[in-house]
Structure 1
Amino acid sequence: MQDFGNTQFFSVETEPETGVEVVLATVYEALTEKGYNPVNQIVGYIMSGDPTYITSHRSARSLIMKVERDELVEELLTKYIEAKHWKNE
């Protein structure tokens, strides 16, 4: 007979969040491997929201769809600004 007088704990392992930088790197590599121009394809996806701009190779399409498009733009712009050394210290 079970003891219903005590609270039992149930823990579910959550999938670790994949950072936007990792998503972009994975998508870039998958597009390159398939012979696409990754810049054009990623811009097409960001501008239109149409996931068919991204290959399903290496699960790139499902991976990029887990990230909001504004987060992609923010990450890209942040990296661009850092590369140009425009960021205020």
Structure 2
Amino acid sequence: MNDKTQHFSFDDAMEKKVKEILSEVYSALKEKGYNPIAQLVGYLISGDPTYITNHKNARSIIRRIERDEILEEIVKFYIDHNIE
């Protein structure tokens, strides 16, 4: 039996949520023949949800989280993997 107390981190939960959402939206955009990176950047910069396809309900899925939360996770990931 493990007597250690589990540690819950909101950061971990948000990271997982953003990863799942971006993965679903990326897949839907790719299936429809769009450049997923360009479309996601367009959405993140402008806030215009029409950059995201309705295919597989991707437009609704991406709006489950705020754009600033997505950007925060992207920046954290980049820094964690590219800066000492």
TM-score range, shorter chain: 0.7 to 0.9
Measure the CA separation in 2 of the matches of 1:47 and 1:69.
9
| Structure of greater Rg | 1
Q: Mind listing any 5+ residue stretches in structure 2 that lack a counterpart?
A: 1-13
| Residue 63 (structure 1) aligned with residue 55 (structure 2) | no
Q: Mind listing any 5+ residue stretches in structure 1 that lack a counterpart?
A: 1-16
The 4+ residue runs of structure 1 with deviation greater than 4 A are none
Measure the CA separation in 2 of the matches of 1:22 and 1:63.
10
Q: Deviations over 1:34-88 (max 9, x none)?
A: 110111100100111110000011111000011100001011112222221x25x
2:41 to 37, 40, 43: 43
- TM-score of the pair, normalised by structure 2: 0.75
How many residues matched?
A: 70
Aligned AA (1:55): T
Higher helix share: 2
